[in-house]
Structure 1
Amino acid sequence: MLQKRDQKFGFIRRARRELTYAFFLGAPPFFACTSSKEVSDLVNALLAAPTLMSYYLWLLFAFGLVSVFIFRVTFRAYRLIRKSREVHSFFVNIGGSLLTAFRAALGAMMGYLMVWCYRDVESMSVAGTAGVLGYACMALAVCVWLAWTDETLRNPHAVSCYS
C-alpha cells in the first residue's frame, strides 16, 4: 500500500548527503599532499574553470528543457515515446555535471581546510578561514539546490524521498 507523504524540501538531510558526497569527491586527495605547492596544485585541479562551469550550466538548462518537454507533451505514437525517453535518458546522464563540479569544489574546500589545520598552522588566519568557510557554505547551498533540481528533472512526478 502506497502512502502519500508530505512534500518537504528536507534541507538538513540534503545538506548532510551533499557534504558526504563532496567529502569523498574532493577531500581524500589532500591527505596525500606533503607540501603547500601540492595543495595549491590540487585545489586548482579540483576547481573547474569558469568556461567549463558555464558549459555545465548550459547542459543543466538543456536538461531542464528536455525534461519539461518530455513530461508535459503526450505522444500517441510509441516510436515517439521511445525516442523522447532516449533523449531524456541521455540528458539525465549529462545534466548533473554542474552538480558534480560543485560537489568536487566543496570537497576541495573541505580537504583544504582539513590539511591547512594540521600542516600549515603558522599561515592560518581568521579572515582566511572565514572566507573559505563562507565559500563552502555557498557551495553547499548550491549543491543542495542542484541536487533537488536534478532529482526533480529526473522524474517530476515522483514523491520526494526526503519528506
Structure 2
Amino acid sequence: MVAQQHLKKATICVDSFHVIRNLNDSLDRIRVKIMRQFHSDSTEYYLLKQWKYLLFERKSDFHNRPQYNRKLKRYINKAQLLENILEIDPLLEKAYHLVELYFNFNNTFLAFEEKMDNLMSIISEYQQSNIPELKQFRRTLYNWRVEICHSFILIDYRTI
C-alpha cells in the first residue's frame, strides 16, 4: 500500500459510514428477496415496499403517534409497522437483529482490544446466521477488522 510505504506511522481507518452503507445494502437485498415472494397486492408486499425505510431508521427516532393507514384500515405507529414487517419472515427478523448488533457496536466507544473482541463476536454471529448476505458481509468485516476498530480511536474527544 502507498500509505504504508510513505506514511510509516499512519493509522489506517475505515469510515463507518461506508461499512454501515454496505450492511444496509445487505439487509435491503434480504428485504427484496422476501418481498418478491408476495403478490404486489398483498399486505406483506405493501409493508416491505412502502415502509422499507423503517428497517434502516433507528427505533429511537420513531414517533409514537399512531396515524391512520388506509391499506391496513387502522391506526398504527411506526414501531408497530416495523413489528409487522419483521413478522413477515423469520429470516428478515433475524437479519434485522443482527444488523442492530452492528449498529450498537458502532455506537459504543471502548478500548481498541475490547472493540476488536466485540467485532470478532459479531463476525462469528454473522457466520453462524446462515444468511448468505450477512455471511458475505462478514468477510468484509473480517478483512477490514483492524481498520474498522482504528476508526474508533479518540483524538480530542472525537473519533478519527
TM-score above 0.5? no
Q: What is the TM-score with the length of structure 1 in the denominator?
A: 0.29
User: Of the two structures, which has the highest relative contact order with CA contacts closer than 8 Å and spacing of 6 or more?
Assistant: 1
| Larger strand share, 1 or 2 | 2
